[in-house]
Amino acid sequence: MNICSSVIQLNFDVEVVAISDGPPPPPNYFAQIDLNGDGALDKAEIDAYFEKMGHPVPEELWASEDKNGDGKISWEEFSGPKGTEPPSAKEDL
Question: What CATH number has the domain bearing residue 38?
Answer: 1.10.238.10
| Residue 42 maps to a domain | yes
In 3-state terms, what secondary structure has residue 22?
coil
| Residue 13, CA atoms < 13 Å, CB-side half-sphere | 0
| Residue 50 maps to a domain | yes
| Residue 9 maps to a domain | no
Tell me the pLDDT of the chain (93 aa) as tens digits. 566 677 889 999 999 988 888 888 888 999 999 999 999 999 999 999 999 999 999 999 999 999 999 999 999 999 999 988 887 644 444
Q: Are 30 and 62 in contact (CB under 8 A)?
A: no
| Residue 73 maps to a domain | yes
- The model carries a pTM of 0.69
| Residue 2 maps to a domain | no
Segments forming the whole domain that contains residue 84: 29-91
